C-alpha cells in the first residue's frame, strides 16, 4: 500500500464488495477512505505516455465507480439530502453516466421534489439515457414510462404544493 494508486484500488474493491453484500455502512466508510486519497488527475503530466494514459483513464473510471457506489451506500443509509449537491455536480460533469442519473431521479422522487423530478428526467434524457432505464419505483407507478414520469412528476409537485400551503 506504499503507492496511493494500489491502496485506492484495494479500498475501492473492498468498498464495492461491501456495497454488493448489502453492508452500506462498511461500503460508505471504505469508499470515503478511498476517495480521500484522490488528489487530482492520476499520473498528471504522464497522460501522453503509454502507461500513464491508460492507467490514468483506468483510475478515473474506478474513481467514478467508487463515487457511484458511495452515493448508493449513502442513500441506503438515509443520507439522500446530503448527497444532492455532489450528485447534481457529478451529473453535470458526467452527463453520460446512467447510474448517476438514476440516483439523481431516485433522490428527486423519494424527496418528492416535483420540479426536480422533471428536471432530473430531462437531464437524463438529454444526456442520452434511455427513458426505459430510469428508476422504477415501488409506488405503483413505473417512472420508466412517459406516463409514469408524468404521474410521478405531478404527484410529487402536488404534494410539495400542499406542504407549502400548510406552512
Q: What is the CA radius of gyration of the chain?
A: 18
Q: Rounded to whole angstroms, what are the CA distances from 18 to 32, 36, 52, 62, 68?
A: 13, 18, 29, 16, 14
DSSP of 63-113 = HHHHHHHHHHHHHHTT-HHHHHHHHHHHHHH-TT-HHHHHHHHHHHHHTT-
Those residues whose C-beta lies under 8 Å from the C-beta of residue 86, and which sit 6 or more positions away, are 71
Is the whole-model pTM more than 0.75? no
| ∠ CA 13-70-139, rounded to 5° | 125
Decide if 155 contacts 141 (C-beta within 8 A). Answer: yes
Specify the pLDDT at position 34: 96
Supply φ then ψ for residue 158, to 5 degrees: -65, -40
- The CA distance from 99 to 115, in Å, is 20
pLDDT tens for the 167 residues of the chain, in order: 457 889 999 999 999 999 999 999 999 999 999 999 988 888 888 877 877 788 888 999 999 999 999 999 998 998 888 888 899 899 889 988 888 878 877 777 666 554 555 556 555 555 555 555 555 544 445 555 545 655 655 555 555 555 555 54
Those residues whose C-beta lies under 8 Å from the C-beta of residue 109, and which sit 6 or more positions away, are 117, 135, 137, 143, 152, 156
Decide if 124 contacts 105 (C-beta within 8 A). Answer: yes
Amino acid at each position: 500500500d506504499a503507492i496511493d494508486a494500489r491502496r485506492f484500488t484495494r479500498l475501492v474493491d473492498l468498498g464495492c464488495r461491501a456495497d454488493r453484500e448489502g453492508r452500506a455502512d462498511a461500503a460508505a466508510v471504505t469508499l470515503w477512505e478511498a476517495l480521500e486519497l484522490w488528489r487530482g488527475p492520476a499520473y498528471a503530466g504522464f497522460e501522453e505516455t503509454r502507461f500513464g494514459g491508460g492507467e490514468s483513464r483506468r483510475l478515473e473510471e474506478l474513481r467514478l465507480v467508487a463515487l457511484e457506489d458511495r452515493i448508493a451506500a449513502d442513500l441506503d443509509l438515509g443520507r439522500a439530502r446530503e448527497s444532492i449537491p455532489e450528485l447534481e455536480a457529478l451529473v453535470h460533469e458526467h452527463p453520460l453516466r446512467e447510474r448517476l442519473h438514476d440516483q439523481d431521479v431516485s433522490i428527486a422522487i423519494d424527496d418528492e421534489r416535483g420540479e426536480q423530478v422533471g428536471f432530473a428526467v430531462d437531464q437524463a434524457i438529454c444526456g442520452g439515457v434511455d427513458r426505459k432505464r430510469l428508476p422504477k419505483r415501488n409506488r405503483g407507478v413505473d417512472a420508466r414510462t412517459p406516463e409514469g414520469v408524468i404521474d410521478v412528476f405531478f404527484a410529487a409537485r402536488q404534494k410539495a404544493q400542499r406542504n407549502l400551503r400548510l406552512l
